[in-house]
């Protein structure tokens, strides 16, 4: 079973690369950002709560996203593997994911970290904001808040996966195809 975490700051290319990886490896894409935006679009209570935070660039509560991931794993019993995109984002989420996967005896094979500098991230997100309609992509202060949330709450997880011997860093600047090839090379080392 190929379970991969796609790790990186907002705008690093996680969603972009996940779309290509699920096609090549025939595994299930679990993006907490996409799931949350689905809840917002459906106007659910959870979606309305999440929107308040997402529009400000703040992380949604751990309980909510952990519950979402648990139920998505359960509803895909025949999956050949999962790509976790944008999850985990806090230490509590990383611990919960390990527990959820250990319980099912399907551990993470690798955490692939896309490395992109802050200047490039801001440029990419504001560019996407012109067409995405995402409130959190349009305002520079919100984008900065997202990067700050990443630096304080998410980046420390690199050490968590390094200690497990699972961290693989990949340069996230360059053509989408070249980055994809680099990710596939890292996957070939563990699969
Ligand atoms: P996400 O949806 O995960 O948003 P993101 O971090 O911006 O990643 P995304 O996948 O969209 O960007 P990508 O790098 O693909 O999260 C949004 C919000 O949801 C969070 O702020 C938070 O509030 C909440 N949330 C989600 N998960 C959560 C969790 N686990 N816990 C708590 N809260 C959570 O692409 C960016 C742009 O770059 C695209 O336009 C793309 O075309 C472009 N791009 C990609 N690769 C490129 C390349 N090589 N060169 C140039 N441009 C490139």
Choice from 8, 11, 151 to test ligand 1 binding pocket (greatest atom count within 8 A of CB): 11
Q: Sheet harboring 167-171: ordered strands across?
A: 28-31, 81-85, 2-7, 110-115, 167-171
Helix/strand/coil percent split, the chain, to 5: 60, 15, 25
pLDDT computed for residue 34 by the predictor: 97
**Average pLDDT of span 64-92:** 97
Q: Is the pLDDT of residue 133 over 90?
A: no
Q: Which of 37, 134, 144, 145 is catalytic?
A: 134
Ligand 1 atom closest to Cα of residue 61: 32
Question: Is 128 an annotated catalytic residue?
Answer: no
């Amino acid at each position: 079973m190929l379970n991969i975490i796609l790790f990186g700051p907002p705008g690093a290319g996680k969603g972009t690369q996940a779309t290509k990886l699920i096609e090549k490896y025939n595994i299930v894409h679990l993006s907490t950002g996409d799931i949350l935006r689905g809840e917002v679009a459906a106007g659910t209570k959870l979606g309305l709560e999440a929107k308040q935070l997402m529009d400000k660039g703040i992380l949604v509560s751990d309980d909510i996203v952990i519950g979402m991931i648990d139920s998505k794993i359960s509803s895909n019993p025949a999956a050949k593997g999962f790509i976790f995109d944008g999850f985990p984002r806090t230490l509590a989420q990383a611990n919960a994911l390990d527990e959820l996967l250990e319980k099912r005896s399907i551990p993470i094979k690798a955490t692939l970290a896309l490395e992109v500098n802050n200047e490039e991230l801001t440029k990419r997100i504001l560019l996407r904001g012109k067409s995405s309609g995402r409130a959190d992509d349009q305002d520079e202060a919100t984008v900065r808040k997202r990067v700050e949330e990443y630096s304080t709450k998410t980046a420390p997880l690199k050490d968590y996966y390094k200690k497990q011997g699972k961290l693989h860093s990949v340069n996230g600047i360059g053509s989408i195809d070249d980055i994809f090839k680099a990710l596939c090379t890292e996957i070939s080392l563990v699969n």
